[in-house]
Amino acid sequence: MKRVPVIIDCDPGHDDMMALVIGCCSPELDVRLVTTVAGNKPLELVTKNALNVLNYIGANEVPLAMGCDRPICRPKDHANSKLAEFRRHTGSIENGAHGATGLDGFQFPENNPKEPTDIRAVEAMAEVLRESDEKVTIIPLGPLTNVALLIRCYPNLVDKIDKISMMGGTSQFVFTRQYMEFNTFVDPEATKIVFESGIPIIMYGYDVTYSVLFDESVIRKIEEHKNQTSHMVAELLKTFMYRHNGAFPWLGLTDTCPIHDACAVAGVVDPSLITQSELLHVDVEIGGNYLNGATVVDYAKTTGLPANVQVVYRMDNQRFFDLMERCAANGK
C-alpha cells in the first residue's frame, strides 16, 4: 500500500493528541515531520505536549521541529489576548477546555528522551518538501503561522505541496461570533496568506467538527484494547469531554464532545469519510475588529468570486470513530 506523505503542524491540545495518534498509528500515512506552533498554549508547552504524545505512542522516529511563538505580523502577546477574548463567555472551568498544561488529564513519564530537531519548523518543512520525490500533504491543526511563512519564504517549494487539510474556520456554525474560529482568529494574516496561496485547501471547520461528536461508548471501545496508547487516549478524551462541555455551556453538550483536529487527519487517511462538502469562495478578514480573522464563506454563492476552499460539512461519524479506535489500538 502506498502511504501518503504528510507534515502535521499542531498545538496540542486534546484534539491534537487524537490527531497525532491517528496520523502516526495509521498505516495509510507516512508522517515525515511534526511541527508545533503557539496556539492553545505558548510554544514551549505545546511542544512538550507533542513530544510526550509521540514518545508515549511509540512514534519516536517522527522528527519534531518547534515553530513560531507568535503570529506572523502581530505582537507575541496577541495570541494570549485573543485566547482570553475568545474564551470571554466560557463557563466555570478554569484554564479553559485544555487545562493549565494544554493537555490536562494524563500523567506522562517525566523523563522523555525525545527532543526537537536543531532546525526550526519552517526550515524543517522546506527540507521535507525539497527531499520528497512526491507531493506532500500539510495538515495544520493550529494557527497557520508556520504554513504561511513556509509559503512566503519558499515559494519555489509550493508546487511540492499536494494539498492543505486544515482544522480551522467556520462557515455557518456560530461558536461565539459569526465566522469566528480560534485558529484563524489568532493569526488572521497567516490565514489570509494560506487561503490566497492557490494550494488546494480542505477546511474542516466548526460546521463539521461540531457534527462529529464522540460519546462514552467510543471511549469504552478504545479502553478495551488495554495497550498504553489506548489508555492514554481514553483518559484524555474523558477529561476533554468534561472540560470542553464545562467551558462552553451554551453549546448544550453533556455526554458528547467534538474532537476537532482529528477530523483533518482522518480525512487524509480516508477521504471517503467526507459525506458532505462544497467548493466555495472563502475570504479572510484582517482589517476589522469585530470580525478580525473571520473566514467569510460565500455559501450562498452571491459574490461571483472563484472558489478556493473545499469546505467540509459532514463526515461518516461511525467510521470516523472506528478509525480512532483502530489507530489507538495500533499504538504502543
Interatomic CA distance for residues 20 and 320, integer angstroms: 15
Interatomic CA distance for residues 103 and 48, integer angstroms: 10
- Which of 14, 244, 260, 281 is an active site residue? 260
- Residue 29, beta-bridge partner list: 4
Distance of CA 247 to the CA centre of its chain: 19
Interatomic CA distance for residues 123 and 112, integer angstroms: 24
96 CB-contact burial (10 Å; exposed 0-12 / middle 13-18 / buried 19+) = buried
| DSSP character at residue 315 | E
The count of C-alpha atoms lying within 13 angstroms of the C-alpha of 252, restricted to the half-sphere facing its C-beta, is 0
Active site residue 98: no
User: What 3 state SS string does 184-216 have?
Assistant: HHHCHHHHHHHHCCCCCEEEECHHHHCCCEEEH
Coil/strand/helix, residue 279: strand
Coil/strand/helix, residue 217: helix
132 within 8 A of 160, measured Cβ to Cβ? yes
By annotation, the residues acting in catalysis are 260
